[in-house]
Structure 1
Amino acid sequence: MIHTITKLSVRDVRFPTSLDQHGSDAMHTDPDYSAAYVVIDTDNGLKGYGLTFTVGRGTEIVVCAVHALSGLIVGKSLEDIIRDFRGFYRTLTSDGQMRWIGPEKGVIHLATAAVLNAVWDLWARTEGKPLWKLLVDMDPKQIISCIDFRYITDALTEQEALDILMKAQEGKQQREGQMLEEGYPAYTTSCAWLGYSDQQLKKLCTDALASGWTRFKVKVGADLQDDKRRCSLIRQMIGPTNTLMIDANQRWDVGEAITWTSSLAEYKPLWIEEPTCPDDILGHATISKALAPLGIGVATGEQCHNRVMFKQFLQASALQFVQIDSCRLGSVNENLAVLLMAHKFQVPVCPHAGGVGLCELVQHLILFDYISVSANLDNRMCEYVDHLHEHFTSPVVIRNAHYMTPKDPGYSCEMFESSVQAHQYPEGETWKKLLKK
């Protein structure tokens, strides 16, 4: 059956998380978890759902960018897209005029992710499979055909990528069975947002420990003495053997990052996340080298523009943990490239998932990484935040601090229509009430 795309709609959906300081960090003090939410219709009634994550103001700009891209997809058949997915990816990212406002970064790339996430969701639904299973079942050559290798062949060639996928065929069935039974290890960020009081932090940490969590991330970067107090509090609560990570969300200059993080070394963090400007590859390399003797790695990637920047981070030994994002990069296609490069450079992937819908999406990618690429769980875990899952028709399932494998067909990012209508900005009922105040 041919599935011709007849319509693309996009809506600005925002959740007022800033009211309770959910998501707050050293640079984003009042985030409203939001999404440019895309629905693509086909001529036979099947729909695909996609989104890209934002933190409130500015979402309307991403919506405009999605509208600008819609003419490149409406009228296409899903089958034609799949037949030359690399070519279609380039159609969206290399339009002769629109690429000028990227290329492959910023608002236009966020919009590209939303559109392509919806295409992948539609493809998985046509196959009756969750996205991770669609990817795992693909022939390695078909996986390769979805990836744009332009600009990265000096780090990873098509043949090298194919060799990685072919080698991972061994034991793949056993790893899939393991994931179906045990799930993928997760860590929590929900206990220690920067705006939370110590009392709230203690309660959330106590509850998380009782639920089996052993890996915790703390937001830092606004005030050193406050960071020391909060890290000490968390470390005392979780004990010496559980894992602690810290996240500065781009707050510091390079020298400041080294000094500040060194002051927190006594709390034994596994990594410092986004210690400086996300575009400063050489700065991250300097920080990585300085912190290595302290046993602290550098993690980054949630605001890394594209596969080319990830290539340079890896080439420069500028990060010890790769944090892919399902909505910052150009959807599944570009994330596949980064997963394969990370494997070649032997750097573990620990995805970013702090935002509405990101847990739902990225769980599929990390399952594919373990089953079909890395075959390795050493120092690997996927972020989890306990916010807003109730708005999705196929929400994540966490059991014993593990992501359980999704069962429903698609990419898990369909929202309930009632939630979309209530939180659409500014005309949804939630916002009508708030904006009146």
Structure 2
Amino acid sequence: MVKAKITGLSVTDVRFPTSMEHHGSDAMHTDPDYSAAYVVLETDSCDGLKGYGLTFTLGKGTEVVVSAVKALSRLVVGRIFRDVVENFSGFYRELTSDGQLRWIGPEKGAVHLATAAVLNAVWDLWAKKLRKPLWKLLVDMTPEQLVSCIDFRYISDALTDEEALEILRNGRQEGEIREQYMLQNGYPAYTTSCAWLGYPDEQLEKLCTEAIKEGWTRFKVKVGADLIDDYRRCKLIRNLIGSERTLLLDANQRWEIDEAISWVKELAEFKPLWIEEPTSPDDILGHAAISKALEPLGIGVATGEQCHNRVMFKQFLQARALQYLQIDSCRLGSVNENLSVLLMAKKFNIPVCPHAGGVGLCELVQHLIIFDYISVSGSLENRMCEYVDHLHEHFKYPVVIQNAAYMPPKDPGYSTEMIVESVLQHQYPDGEVWQKLALEKEEL
């Protein structure tokens, strides 16, 4: 690899007014504007390639993450790119261990979201330089190369580097067969687009009916604000999708422990596979209590989209506090930290069912879950990846869904690059879209 230098880092606050039509609405986040802190890395290499990364937010507060990205930029700009990727775990630790910035984490919150955006851009650039989609870059790396990207600090009591190497070496067996399966069939997905909490019944019926015609067999319903309304909506959707299809519930952290148990028991007749984020995402023992109480009903607990870091995932696994683990490509510290969580999930024999949707999350996480199947888990049992049909048109390499499955991307990179015009129109607050909305508000 030529000794290219990272010569610049820019970051843009990009927001989409999704709250106007209640897209993304749930019991805790009633008016989200899907947004991203969007990072572009420039280099002095003759090929002119750039790296694109992002982290997902809900509108307000994106400017905080943008500021955190700018604070991290001094650790990135001026670095020789080859030096970064050849000592990737060291670079990761450098970003997460700055003596002053670490205080406002550590490895969580806005500063960790910013770290994810920067590192996502690094991985995108690396995959482009090797002319491979990111999932293929990961699949083609040796176990030793993959392990060298992981910071094992704080998790070695649950996963050592030797254990990680063994898992990855075992994963190479029949990996080519699984890769061909992915290329032909894709990775199974479930849809959240049909049942946002703010949608009226007519819209639920219309969207579910259309999704069934398109071949969807797994449906997630947002719950948690009102039990009577949840019961009615779950009954409506179960009747629409029939008994043979899968129903999933998501409370988005709304409940207390006892409340979560009693609420889900009231909805148990609709046979949900899991309840997602039933309580505070930080309450590991609370999740364990809920898991134990719901086990006799055959209802699992899923969580992870707001799990701060690999340490929390370690403890969730050790406490047997979840039955479905949901990684997030933009909350954890990019691919590096997600690798460690995928490997821990394999060791603890817990299926990974990633969080996606938002702005770009589907584009990113497809690479991770395809790699997980080919090189780590080797299984599709009880596994599926979330899909939300919003905002893909703003990406240069949008996801491709066929027969309710993610088809492996073929373009080089991490699928993170947005269309320039979309960024210009939706940058906040000066983009055309936001200027127009501000003017309309003034006229009212």
Shorter-chain TM-score: which interval?
Answer: over 0.9
Distance, in Å, in 2 between the alignment partners of 1:51 and 1:354 is 13
Instruction: Please say if 1:305 is aligned against 2:298.
Output: no
Distance, in Å, in 1 between the alignment partners of 2:378 and 2:144 is 19
- Which letter maps to 1:101? I
Instruction: Please say if 1:83 is aligned against 2:95.
Output: no
Aligned to 2:58: 55
Aligned to 2:72: 69
Distance, in Å, in 1 between the alignment partners of 2:132 and 2:359 is 23
Aligned to 2:125: 122
- Which letter maps to 1:15? F
Percent sequence identity over aligned pairs: 74
Aligned to 1:337: 340
TM-score when scaled to structure 1? Answer: 1.00
Distance, in Å, in 2 between the alignment partners of 1:391 and 1:151 is 38
Aligned to 1:186: 189
- Which letter maps to 1:362? V
Aligned to 2:246: 243
Aligned to 1:365: 368
3-state DSSP of counterpart to 2:434: helix
Distance, in Å, in 2 between the alignment partners of 1:435 and 1:186 is 37
Distance, in Å, in 1 between the alignment partners of 2:209 and 2:364 is 28
Write the deviation string for residues 8-58 of structure 1: whole angstroms up to 9, x where unpaired. Answer: 000000000000000000000000000000000000221000000000000
TM-score when scaled to structure 2? Answer: 0.98
TM-superposed deviation, 1:296: 0.2
- Which letter maps to 1:162? L
Distance, in Å, in 2 between the alignment partners of 1:78 and 1:363 is 25
Distance, in Å, in 2 between the alignment partners of 1:24 and 1:98 is 32
TM-superposed deviation, 1:354: 2.5
Distance, in Å, in 1 between the alignment partners of 2:114 and 2:286 is 28
TM-superposed deviation, 1:340: 0.2
- Which letter maps to 2:25? S
- Which letter maps to 1:286? A
Distance, in Å, in 1 between the alignment partners of 2:178 and 2:80 is 34
Aligned to 1:43: 44
Contact 2:357 2:389 in 1 (8 A): no
Distance, in Å, in 2 between the alignment partners of 1:329 and 1:77 is 24
Runs of 4+ in 1 over 3 A off after TM superposition: none
Distance, in Å, in 1 between the alignment partners of 2:283 and 2:343 is 22
Aligned to 1:22: 23
- Aligned pairs for 1:247-262 within 5 A: 247-262=250-265
Equivalent of 1:142 in 135, 145, 150: 145
Aligned to 2:34: 33
- What runs of 5+ residues in structure 1 fail to find an aligned partner? none
Distance, in Å, in 2 between the alignment partners of 1:294 and 1:4 is 56
Distance, in Å, in 2 between the alignment partners of 1:251 and 1:212 is 31
Write the deviation string for residues 179-232 of structure 1: whole angstroms up to 9, x where unpaired. Answer: 000000000000000000000000000000000000000000000010001000
- Aligned pairs for 1:173-322 within 5 A: 173-322=176-325
Aligned to 1:433: 436
Distance, in Å, in 1 between the alignment partners of 2:269 and 2:28 is 24
3-state DSSP of counterpart to 2:216: coil
Aligned to 1:355: 358
Residue correspondences, number: 437
RMSD: 0.4
Contact 2:68 2:114 in 1 (8 A): yes
- What runs of 5+ residues in structure 2 fail to find an aligned partner? none
3-state DSSP of counterpart to 1:227: helix
